Amino acid sequence: MIEALRKKAEELLRSNTVNVIYGYGEGSTPERTRPVFITKPEDVSKLTWNKYCVYNLTTYLKRRESRKLGKPAIVVKGCDAKTIVVLIKESQIKREDVYILGVTCNGVGEPMATKCKACDVHTPRIYDELIGEKIENKEIPFEERYAELEQYEKLSEKEKWDFWQKQFAKCIKCYACSSICPLCFCDRCIVDKNQPQWIDPSAHPRGNLSWNVTRAYHLAGRCINCEECQRVCPADIPLNLLNKKLAKETEKNFKYRAGYNIDDELAMATYKEDDNQDFFK
Amino acid sequence: MSEKTKFEPRIVAFLCNWCTYAGADLAGTGRKQYQANVRVIKLPCTGGIDPLFLIKAFERGADGILVSGCHPGDCHYNSGNYHARRRWNVFRPLLEFCGINPERIQFSWISAAEGGKWVETINGVVNAVRALGPFEGYKKINAIGPDAPSESFVTN
């Protein structure tokens, strides 16, 4: 599989189809794979693929530093490929501006990442070239996909509040969660604005609640569950629970799943006349 | 509880200019009485209400919030309230998930002709929040900083 990946990468660079390959490279130890940006055909041997390739490389599609390198081919797993669908739908990139090297994947991480437990995109749903043996994407029922949330949803109001306050109290406002997020692409984030100051910039419980709720909310109907925010959080806040909760509500109310179908209207950019309004007086 | 420290909820109402604000106005012209715990903020359209407004209201000491606009199909800008409805459909469960009682954030459609419904809704919200008591949790996390509300949770 690695050989096929390298061969294709070399071919793409030699034919000038793309200027750069965003891929996974080996790190100082086997479990420390890291992103590599390959611009020369002779460097393709740096590319690798293994179960430690947890990262979502599509985050580099928003970075100026990597965009400067020219048209990319990007190595994506099934989950990461969903990001590209959302980015295209949100007019951040054009389909023809990115070459998608999809890799089939049976789960990553050691121990296996939470996102892989209810995976229904072992084979990417969008790609230009598929590397590896095609794996059947089997449907997973709604309840199973959001099973992780159950134990938190059944807590009492006070327990929920205490749980999240304890979590948010750890937040140091480093904004790693939004820096890594491939879908947090605003040039000027709401936290950078100080007239008015919507979100208290200090790592104070009040601002921490506002920040974490706002960050999650801005991903409503957009988050594709790559769990990168949670992975990079130095304070180990289970941020993806919030994202997942929003994804669940979006799917429940609007039958929409971000990144699954390129023809679907973006959930939060459209409406239906018969949307749920039980809670309206 | 003594008369002096009796809890009076602080309700912030975000109203759209075209329907609910006019409805509230009608209640006033009609000399209808309702509980005076509400602070009204008039905005052009419910579609323009950022969820941050709600969070900010809580930060500044609100015990409850009402968001109200035109009935579906009546929006002055055609679709503002439909978009708003989508947003609240996901935002409300998110706050609930974080441990904020959904009774503290209420939504309604009130047209310019429904002065009576405005009175009813406000009384309903005030009573519900009065029963819940002050938003102690948020009050606690607000404790320090220049914006922290002073003694405003207790009025006489």
- Cα dihedral A143, A146, A151, A153 sign: negative
Does the pLDDT of residue B67 top 90, yes or no?
yes
What's the pLDDT at B146?
A: 52
Nearest to A246 among B90, B142, B144 (CB): B90
- A168: closest CA among A197, A199, A207? A207
| Residue A114 and residue A152 in one domain | no
**Which of A131, A158, A173 is the last residue in one of the domains?**
A131
Name, in order, each residue with C-beta under 8 angstroms of B127's C-beta and a sequence gap of 6 or more. B35
Query: A271 and B94: CB-CB below 8 Å?
Result: no
What's the pLDDT at B142?
A: 78
| Residue A68 and residue A32 in one domain | yes
B91 CA to centre of own chain: 15
Determine the structural domain holding residue A178 and report its residue range. 142-269
Number of Cβ within a 10 Å radius of residue A56? 24
State the average pLDDT over residues A12-24.
Answer: 94
- A108: closest CA among A179, A49, A29, A60? A49
Backbone angles phi, psi at A100, to 5 degrees: -100, 115
Whole-number Å distance between alpha carbons of A260 and A81: 9
Nearest to B86 among A213, A216, A271 (CB): A271
Q: Testing the interface with A: which of B83, B85, B120, B132 to mutate, by most A Cβ within 10 A?
A: B85
Whole-number Å distance between alpha carbons of A270 and A213: 22
| Residue A218 and residue A119 in one domain | no
What's the pLDDT at B140?
A: 83
Which run of H or E residues covers position B143?
none
Domain-embedded: residue A280: no
Domain-embedded: residue A55: yes
State the average pLDDT over residues B68-91.
Answer: 94
| Residue A60 and residue A171 in one domain | no
Tell me: cis bond preceding A111? Omega within 30 of 0 counts.
Answer: yes
Q: What is the pLDDT of residues A269-280, one digit of tens each?
A: 999 999 999 999
Whole-number Å distance between alpha carbons of B54 and B11: 11
**Which of A100, A131, A162 is the last residue in one of the domains?**
A131
What's the pLDDT at B117?
A: 96
**Would you put residue A197 in left (φ > 0), alpha (ψ -120 to 50) or beta?**
beta
Q: What is the pLDDT of residues A116-159, one digit of tens each?
A: 988 999 999 999 999 988 998 989 999 999 999 999 999 999 99
Instruction: Say whether B73 sits in a helix, a strand or coil.
Output: coil
| Residue A6 and residue A127 in one domain | yes
Minimal C-alpha gap between B140 and chain A (Å): 9
Query: A277 and B55: CB-CB below 8 Å?
Result: no
| Residue A150 and residue A110 in one domain | no
| Residue A180 and residue A239 in one domain | yes
| Residue A61 and residue A148 in one domain | no
State the average pLDDT over residues B27-42.
Answer: 95
Domain-embedded: residue A94: yes
ipTM of the complex, rounded to two decimals: 0.91
To which residue do tokens 């801005």 refer?
A218
| Residue A108 and residue A175 in one domain | no
Q: What is the mean pLDDT of chain B?
A: 89
Considering only alpha carbons, which residue of chain B is nearest residue A197?
B56
Query: A161 and B121: CB-CB below 8 Å?
Result: no
What's the pLDDT at B25?
A: 95
- For chain B, what are the domain ranges? 11-141
Whether residue A199 contacts residue A214, with contact meaning beta carbons closer than 8 Å, is answered with yes
Domain-embedded: residue A275: no
Domain-embedded: residue A43: yes
What's the pLDDT at A110?
A: 86
Q: What is the pLDDT of residues A149-208, one digit of tens each?
A: 999 999 999 999 999 999 999 999 999 999 999 999 998 999 998 888 899 888 888 899
Q: What is the pLDDT of residues B98-122, one digit of tens each?
A: 999 999 999 999 999 999 999 999 9
Considering only alpha carbons, which residue of chain B is nearest residue A162?
B99
Minimal C-alpha gap between B5 and chain A (Å): 24
A158 touches chain B (CB under 8 A): yes
Chain B residues close to A279, C-beta within 8 Å: 88, 92, 102, 106-107
Number of domains in chain A: 2
Does the pLDDT of residue A216 top 90, yes or no?
yes
Whole-number Å distance between alpha carbons of A25 and A53: 9
What's the pLDDT at B149?
A: 45
Whether residue A69 contacts residue A19, with contact meaning beta carbons closer than 8 Å, is answered with yes
What is the share, in percent, of chain A residues with pLDDT greater than 70? 100
What's the pLDDT at B150?
A: 46
| Residue A170 and residue A121 in one domain | no
**How buried is A32 (Cβ within 10 angstroms: 0-12 exposed, 13-18 middle, 19+ buried)?**
exposed
**Which of A72, A102, A131 is the last residue in one of the domains?**
A131
Domain-embedded: residue A123: yes
What is the share, in percent, of chain A residues with pLDDT greater than 90? 83
| A41-55, A94-108, B134-148: range with lowest mean pLDDT | B134-148
Chain B residues close to A148, C-beta within 8 Å: none
Whole-angstrom CA distances from B68 to A195, A254, B59, B132 are 26, 22, 20, 21
As a CATH number, domain B11-141 is: 3.40.50
To which residue do tokens 């072992």 refer?
A122
What's the pLDDT at B4?
A: 60
| Residue A18 and residue A115 in one domain | yes
Whole-number Å distance between alpha carbons of A213 and A162: 15
Q: What is the mean pLDDT of chain A?
A: 93
A171 touches chain B (CB under 8 A): no
| Residue A12 and residue A124 in one domain | yes
- Cα dihedral A163, A165, A167, A170 sign: negative
